[in-house]
Amino acid sequence: MILDLFFPNRCIHCSRIIDAELLVCSLCFEQIHFTHFDYSGDHIIKEKCKLMFPVENTYALMKFEQDGLSQKIIHELKYKSRENAGNTLAEWTTERLDLKDKKPDLLVSVPLHPKKLKERGYNQLHLFTEALSKFYDIPFDHEIIQRNHYSKAQALKDKKNRLETVNPFSLSKPISGKHILLIDDVFTTGNTVSSIAWEILNAGDNRVSILVMAVDV
């Protein structure tokens, strides 16, 4: 394509020219710190979640490093309209996460407030979730959880303010007897997924598992 000649796709880390569908070159890919967590085993995310709510299984694709490559990858998806990043992250996830006999019934991603969605133009988690849904053959629902308050990005808040947010989410429809895989971008305090998890758990005989792109602990 003509645009590719004048504006070639470049690695977001080292700026080497790469294929249009890629985010990083092969050399920089080797610098990504994947967690290799056991989905049903014990690790830092499960330990933190268990202190806040009953959780089934947990998984993080990468270790989040401030000003590092994992942060650049997520910010390309979240703030720079690189929607193909969602598909790339989903591909990396499916290569590493075998759900086997622990498949959930439904995939649910953390929602944006309607005002934030209008500002950004898309929810960065939707393409990621939809790609996972297609690969694992698990349905998704983008409408089941709604965000009740508009606020500045979690990445711009300090931990104290994040913990002080009260009832930021609610269910928009009834749900019972389901195992929900709740999907977010970065796990830091766990406050966001905990708030949503309790809405799901209190709604009926439901179970919750957690999947995030990166863990920052």
Look at residue 4 and tell me whether its pLDDT is greater than 60: no
Look at residue 2 and tell me whether its pLDDT is greater than 50: no
DSSP characters for 111-152?
A: PPPHHHHHHHSS-HHHHHHHHHHHHHT--B-SSSEEE-S--S
* Residue 152: per-residue pLDDT: 59
State whether 130 and 114 are in the same domain. Answer: yes
Quick one: average pLDDT of 24-45?
94
| CATH code, domain carrying 137 | 3.40.50
* Residue 114: per-residue pLDDT: 72
State whether 188 and 109 are in the same domain. Answer: yes
Look at residue 156 and tell me whether its pLDDT is greater than 50: no
State whether 11 and 80 are in the same domain. Answer: no
Look at residue 158 and tell me whether its pLDDT is greater than 60: no
Domains identified in the chain, total number: 2
State whether 209 and 147 are in the same domain. Answer: yes
- The closest of 71, 79, 133 to 106, measured between CA atoms, is 133
Quick one: average pLDDT of 181-209?
95
Look at residue 201 and tell me whether its pLDDT is greater than 90: yes
State whether 89 and 160 are in the same domain. Answer: yes
How do residues 12-31 score in pLDDT, each as one tens digit? Answer: 999 999 998 889 999 999 99
DSSP characters for 169-184?
A: EEESS---S-EEEEEE
How do residues 50-100 score in pLDDT, each as one tens digit? Answer: 999 999 999 999 999 888 899 999 888 777 666 678 889 999 999 999 998
Quick one: average pLDDT of 180-200?
96
* Residue 3: per-residue pLDDT: 45
State whether 149 and 122 are in the same domain. Answer: yes
Quick one: average pLDDT of 24-42?
94
Look at residue 167 and tell me whether its pLDDT is greater than 60: yes
- pTM for the full model? 0.87
State whether 24 and 107 are in the same domain. Answer: no
Strands lying side by side in the sheet with 106-109? 58-63, 207-215, 179-187, 106-109
Let me know how many helices (H) and strands (E) the chain has, helices first.
9, 6
Quick one: average pLDDT of 202-211?
96
Angle at alpha carbon of residue 66, lines to 58 and 169, rounded to 5°: 50
State whether 204 and 131 are in the same domain. Answer: yes
State whether 197 and 174 are in the same domain. Answer: yes
State whether 26 and 100 are in the same domain. Answer: no
* Residue 163: per-residue pLDDT: 47
State whether 111 and 12 are in the same domain. Answer: no
* Residue 116: per-residue pLDDT: 72
State whether 27 and 41 are in the same domain. Answer: no
Find out whether 37 and 159 touch, Cβ atoms under 8 Å. Answer: no
Residue carrying the six token digits 């990005």:
153
How do residues 92-151 score in pLDDT, each as one tens digit? Answer: 999 999 998 889 999 999 998 778 767 766 688 888 999 999 999 999 999 999 988 776
Rg of the chain over all Cα atoms, to the nearest angstrom: 17
Alpha carbon 19 to chain centroid, angstroms: 25
Which domain covers residue 24, as residue numbers? Answer: 1-31
